[in-house]
């Protein structure tokens, strides 16, 4: 799975992480490919993993990093669930159950 970052430098100081197949991302082409050039923002990527994209986005200057509300909600919840499960397993192990 590929991940992309859209860095917007006009409206808000945001860097939004998308999955490649997201309709807003369209593998880094956006909804309207090149219609505004790089005047409004720029795509970064592809990145092989969410972590990699996240690390890159955090390294951008003066940007608030966000996950795309449409394509990354599932991934995020999946990660949180996995984390909770992991914590649960550890707790059970410590409690000797
Ligand atoms: Zn998206």
Q: Are 63 and 23 in contact (CB under 8 A)?
A: no
Let me know if residue 81 belongs to a domain: no
28 within domain boundaries = yes
Give 29's contacts (C-beta < 8 A, 6+ positions apart).
43
Residues in the chain: 97
According to the model, what pLDDT value does residue 32 have? 59
From ligand 1's centre to the CA of 37, what distance in Å? 19
Residue 91 domain-assigned? no
Question: From the CA of 15, how far away is ligand 1's center (Å)?
Answer: 12
**CA 1 – ligand 1 centroid, Å:** 13
**Domain of 50, in residue numbers:** 3-69
pLDDT at 23: 85
From first to last of its 97 residues, what are the pLDDT tens digits of the chain?
899 999 987 767 899 999 999 988 888 777 655 555 666 788 899 999 999 999 999 999 888 999 998 888 766 667 777 778 788 888 888 887 6
């Amino acid at each position: 799975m590929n991940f992309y970052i859209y860095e917007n430098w006009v409206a808000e100081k945001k860097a939004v992480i998308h999955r490649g197949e997201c309709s807003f991302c369209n593998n880094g082409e956006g909804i309207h490919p090149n219609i505004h050039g790089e005047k409004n923002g720029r795509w970064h990527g592809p990145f092989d993993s969410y972590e990699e994209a996240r690390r890159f986005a955090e390294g951008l200057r003066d940007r608030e990093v966000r996950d795309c509300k449409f394509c990354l909600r599932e991934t995020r919840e999946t990660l949180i669930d996995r984390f909770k499960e992991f914590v649960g397993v550890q707790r059970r192990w410590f409690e000797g159950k």
